Amino acid sequence: MLFLSMNSVIESVFTCHILNVMWSSPVIFRSWSSFGILTGPLALLLIILLNDMFYAPAHRLLHHPSIYPYIHKHHHRSVYPTRGNIDARNEHPVEQLIAMFLWMCAVQITAHTVGLHAAALGTHLALMTTGASLNHAGFDFEVRFLGVDWYSTGAHEMHHRRPDRNFGQFTMLWDKLMGTYIPYDDGSEPAKRRLEQKAD
């Protein structure tokens, strides 16, 4: 309960900071005339990819035996998270600050390379909040596009069951590149056989 309370304060301050960035930062576009494919949808996609590119290895580092008991273990007390936003936010405040810092890095890189519209930034904040809740809601939801698994709540559930796998938050791309991706296992025999074959 202490961490949830602390994280509520941290999230409130961070949300105020993001709103300030959206409305006053000189590197964020606000006029609708500056909204385009590059500053809107492509910038949104870049933030998603960069955020997880930074987050997945940082998350993996939090599982290192010298760090895990002090910071990340608290979040993994729930092996089958089902309480949505409560389980998503039930993490050590240091972990939350790391994730927010990495997210701001992704935002700044995007804004300084391809440009970023406030609508894309707000959309990503909403997607990130919703995705974190869905990752801990206890049901499977997937986004597949062009034959690629972009997002799956089952992948994060597998991370809670197999903490050495699936470190990405919103895309499985980086786990596939790091060799840490494992598909969802619903407990059925065919799924178990696939996992055993994957381990060999």
Residue 197 confidence (pLDDT): 54
The pairing of strands 148-152 and 142-145 is antiparallel
- Nearest CA to 28 out of 102, 125, 101, 148 is that of 125
The mean pLDDT of 154-170, rounded to a whole number, is 91
Closest CA to 123 of 83, 85, 155, 170: 170
The amino acid that residue 138 corresponds to is G
According to the model, what pLDDT value does residue 198 have? Answer: 52
Q: Is 50 exceeded by the pLDDT of residue 24?
A: yes
Cα 143 to its chain centre, rounded Å, is 14
Q: Which amino acid is at 51?
A: N
pLDDT digits (tens, 9 = 90+) for 80-131: 777 877 777 888 999 999 999 999 999 999 999 999 999 999 999 999 999 8
